[in-house]
């Protein structure tokens, strides 16, 4: 009887600490490069509101104080607590990066063996270790050179385009040099010290190029710059350990309970932080008589008009003047039901009940604008000012546009606009 020959089967070995560290460095470098690009995209495309909203959500969970009370009777003269605001911002991004990193690790552990070898092989990992963050940085250069960029509003677009082309050529030359060195190493392998010195020059150049300060989450950007050379060092250590071959074929890959638990918990935290509050539909109120939309304009350090307009469900408009208006006495008017529903549809389109007005940026002496909506027993007030409006179509710009629309529908100019200088 013939016995089974198992002499050629390589026994599976437990995963080494270096292999765990290799996977961790790969995931950290990959996620930090994406985070770097996303943060610059937020800065260049004026999307601060969404990042600040997440930071405020974290501060609320941790019971950190952010701002003083916002009213329309007296403009808020005090800025937000920058310490807690930036702390919440950093925590929000750190939690999101950790969740993304754990998802990458889970994908690596669950991927088929062929996919795992292709991703974690020395060639693929080496390319990402060398060029993940430079490629992200090159994307940010294209955003800087865009005429719509809000990051450098006074910069010369032509100069930024020249810098972008320069960095594109430098990256192409760097990739070409690495490719040539790789081909040479196939004939005559380089020593560890030679590769280490080349890596030092490579990372020193790109870290110098990418170390420009940004206005958002500087700590996370610093983490990205640290993860970049760290992944290269781990890749070099792994490269010499495997002696130029792919990842070890005899090591067991298994998903631990801690990995799955980390993905679930961090994913739930990301949803809590980034998911907006539940919006309440205004387009189809159950009781039209319960509808009330109040627009209030607050004072500034100058002669800004202060007044309030209230639109009721039956079409009645109530006006009350306070300062620097032509008429201060109570006035009334009527609007059609279609005009009222148009205002409600516009508010519903911007998800009014999920707007976080504390995430709007304020100026020091601009007039405040407030809209308060009451419908079916639910009430919500959003207050901001007319400065730092942000990008067109953004939450603040849309909010102020609706406020102007309410003024137009109610024809408030007949009570507000003076024939000269309005006296208080």
Average pLDDT over residues 355-368: 83
> Which whole-number Å values give the CA distances from 221 to 100, 208, 215, 274, in the listed order?
16, 13, 10, 20
Closest to 399 (Cα-Cα) out of 363, 337, 356: 356
* Three-class SS of 115-133: HHHHHHCHHHHHHHHHHHH
> What DSSP assignment string belongs to 61-89?
HTT--------SSS---SPP-HHHHHHHH
Provide the residue ranges of all domains of the chain, joining segments of one domain with +: 17-274, 288-416
Question: How far is the C-alpha of 228 from the C-alpha of 388, rounded, in Å?
Answer: 35
13 vs 185, more confident: 185
What are the helix (H) ranges across 157-251? 157-187, 192-209, 218-242
pLDDT of 15 higher than 80: no
Q: Is the pTM of this model over 0.85?
A: no
Q: At what angle do helices 113-120 and 122-145 cross, to 10 degrees?
A: 60
166 vs 268, more confident: 268
pLDDT number for residue 247: 47
pLDDT band at 13 (very low <50, low <70, confident <90, very high): low
pLDDT number for residue 140: 79
pLDDT number for residue 10: 47
pLDDT of 254 higher than 90: no
pLDDT digits (tens, 9 = 90+) for 211-247: 654 444 456 667 777 888 898 888 888 887 765 444 4
pLDDT of 267 higher than 90: yes
Q: What is the CA radius of gyration of the chain?
A: 29
Tell me the sheet residues that pair with 370.
296, 383
pLDDT of 258 higher than 70: yes
Closest to 127 (Cα-Cα) out of 208, 52, 231: 231
Question: How far is the C-alpha of 41 from the C-alpha of 34, rounded, in Å?
Answer: 10
Structure tokens at 394: 């953004």
Closest to 86 (Cα-Cα) out of 252, 245, 219, 256: 219
- Whether the CB-CB separation of 86 and 52 falls below 8 Å is answered with no
Which class is domain 288-416? alpha beta
Mean pLDDT of the chain: 82
pLDDT number for residue 137: 84
């Amino acid at each position: 009887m013939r016995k089974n020959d198992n002499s050629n089967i390589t026994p599976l070995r437990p995963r080494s600490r270096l292999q765990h560290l290799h996977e961790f460095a790969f995931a950290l470098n990959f996620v930090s490069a994406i985070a770097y690009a996303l943060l610059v995209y937020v800065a260049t495309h004026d999307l601060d509101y969404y990042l600040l909203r997440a930071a405020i959500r974290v501060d609320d969970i941790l019971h950190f104080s952010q701002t003083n009370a916002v009213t329309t009777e007296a403009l808020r003269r005090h800025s937000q607590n920058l310490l807690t605001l930036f702390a919440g911002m950093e925590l929000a991004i750190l939690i999101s990066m950790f969740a993304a990193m754990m998802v990458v690790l889970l994908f690596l552990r669950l991927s088929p063996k062929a996919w795992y070898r292709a991703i974690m092989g020395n060639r693929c990992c080496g390319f990402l270790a060398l060029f993940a963050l430079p490629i992200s940085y090159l994307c940010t250069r294209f955003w800087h050179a865009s005429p719509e960029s809000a990051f450098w509003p006074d910069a010369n677009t032509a100069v930024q385009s020249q810098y972008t082309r320069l960095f594109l050529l430098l990256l192409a030359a760097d990739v070409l040099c690495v490719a040539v060195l790789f081909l040479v190493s196939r004939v005559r392998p380089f020593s560890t010290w030679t590769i280490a010195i080349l890596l030092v020059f490579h990372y020193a150049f790109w870290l110098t190029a990418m170390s420009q300060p940004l206005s958002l989450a500087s700590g996370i950007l610093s983490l990205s710059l640290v993860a970049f050379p760290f992944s290269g060092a781990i890749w070099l250590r792994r490269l010499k350990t495997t002696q130029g071959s792919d990842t070890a074929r005899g090591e067991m890959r298994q998903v631990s309970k801690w990995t799955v638990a980390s993905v679930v918990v961090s994913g739930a935290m990301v949803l809590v932080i980034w998911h907006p509050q539940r919006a309440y539909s205004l387009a189809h109120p159950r009781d039209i008589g319960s509808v009330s939309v109040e627009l209030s304009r607050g004072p500034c350090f100058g002669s800004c008009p202060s007044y309030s307009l209230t639109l009721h469900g039956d079409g009645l408009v109530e006006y009350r003047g306070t300062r620097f208006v032509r008429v201060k006495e109570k006035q009334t008017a009527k609007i059609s039901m279609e005009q009222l529903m148009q205002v409600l549809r516009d508010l519903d389109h911007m998800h009014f009940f999920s707007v976080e007005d504390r995430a709007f940026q304020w100026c020091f002496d601009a007039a405040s604008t407030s809209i308060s909506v009451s419908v079916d027993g639910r009430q919500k007030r959003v207050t901001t000012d007319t400065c730092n409006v942000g990008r067109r179509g953004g939450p603040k710009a849309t909010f102020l546009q609706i406020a102007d629309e309410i003024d137009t529908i109610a024809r408030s100019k007949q009570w507000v606009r003076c024939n000269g200088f309005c006296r208080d």
